[in-house]
Amino acid sequence: MSKPDISTSAGSLQLSNPFLLASGILDENGYTMRRILDEGAAAVVTKSIGMEERSGYKPPIVSVDDPIVINAVGLPNPGILNVGNEIKIAKKSGKPVVGSIFGKDVNEFVHLAGKMEEYGTDAIELNLSCPHVKGFGSEIGGDSSLVKEIVENVKGSVKIPVWSKLSPNVTSLIDIARAASDSDAIVLINTVRGMKIDIHSGRPVLTNRLGGLSGPSIKPVGIRCVYEVKSSIDIPVIGVGGIESAADAIEYIMAGASAVQIGTALWKHGRGIFSKVSNELEEFMAAEGYTKIEDFRGLALT
């Protein structure tokens, strides 16, 4: 019997398998991104890049109390003028590189998207949802008219696909997703707002006090968000949140996701996770008699 076909697409972007590297984990450096692509990721999303270099918050910026992972890194990034070469290096893999950007207003998003296109990225991911940086986009993802304006303007200014990454920390996800529906795909979810307190000192553990929860504890939230959006809007969705195995990804795909991203699991499982999940997915599909991803995508929606 021939091997199942695990290729897929996210909007117009063709992917050799459904597994992408999520923004923020090992993706500031061109060589690291290239290695992750060479080891089996179908594409990488860069760390979110802003107008200027930022060093982020002072440590502690991450708290790991397995499986509970909370971070507030403060969007450290080299700034848009310093990432062109990293993208060029990552692109030598021949696989897609997606440029993640964040800005404080429409003009910044448009400028950053234009630079990413100039650097040769294959798509733009708008980080509309970072919950950590006060005054730097923390409110953008919760304001549907601003989301609509950013998406429409960025779409009108670049030729490459534009993805909108949304936050689960909003009152009506569907309203925000509708506002972003000019995008070529919606990415769900960014981290879930959380907090950790040291019971010996009585102090918040993270310098920023509040942080974003990631890893396995947010998987059900991510799946619910993908399911809700796919139930009401006809748009490609990329799932992210707590994926550590093909089984986790299959849940997202059955909720309607076209592809998925993996972030926090890299810390625990290393880069080898990408070939592991692809192999597991092929085994699952062969055992269930599925020949292609479309055979089971969105099954839970019916």
Site for ligand FMN in 203-232 (CB under 6 A): 214-215, 218
Q: Using the rule CB under 6 A, give the single segment among 5-13, 33-41, 113-121, 241-249 that binds ligand FMN.
A: 241-249
Concatenate the DSSP letters of all residues of 252-277 into one string: HHHTT-SEEEE-THHHHH-TTHHHHH
Q: Give CA–CA dist 113/33, Å, rounded.
A: 20
Q: Give CA–CA dist 285/266, Å, rounded.
A: 24
Q: Does 32 bind ligand FMN (CB under 6 A)?
A: no
Q: Does 100 bind ligand FMN (CB under 6 A)?
A: yes
Q: Using the rule CB under 6 A, give the single segment among 177-185, 249-257, 259-267, 282-290 that binds ligand FMN.
A: 259-267
Q: Does 103 bind ligand FMN (CB under 6 A)?
A: no
Find the shortest distance in angstroms from Cβ 289 to ligand FMN: 29
Q: Helix, strand or coil for residue 70?
A: strand
Q: Does 23 bind ligand FMN (CB under 6 A)?
A: yes
Smallest CA-to-CA distance from 137 within 168, 162, 99, 108 is with: 108
Spatial neighbors of 202 by CB under 8 A, at least 6 apart, are: none
Q: Does 262 bind ligand FMN (CB under 6 A)?
A: yes
In this chain, which of 4, 24, 142, 161 binds ligand FMN, going by CB under 6 A?
24
Q: Give CA–CA dist 219/225, Å, rounded.
A: 10
Looking at the Cβ atoms of 15 and 101, the one nearer to ligand FMN is: 101
Smallest CA-to-CA distance from 100 within 257, 263, 235 is with: 263
Residues 124-153: x/- map of binding to ligand FMN (CB under 6 A)? ---x--------------------------
Residues involved in catalysis: 130
Smallest CA-to-CA distance from 165 within 139, 182, 138, 186 is with: 186
Find the shortest distance in angstroms from Cβ 161 to ligand FMN: 16
Would you give the DSSP letter of residue 54?
A: B
Site for ligand FMN in 63-82 (CB under 6 A): 71, 73, 75
Looking at the Cβ atoms of 135 and 202, the one nearer to ligand FMN is: 135
Residues that bind ligand FMN (CB under 6 A): 22-25, 47-48, 71, 73, 75, 100, 127, 165, 190-191, 214-215, 218, 240-243, 262-265
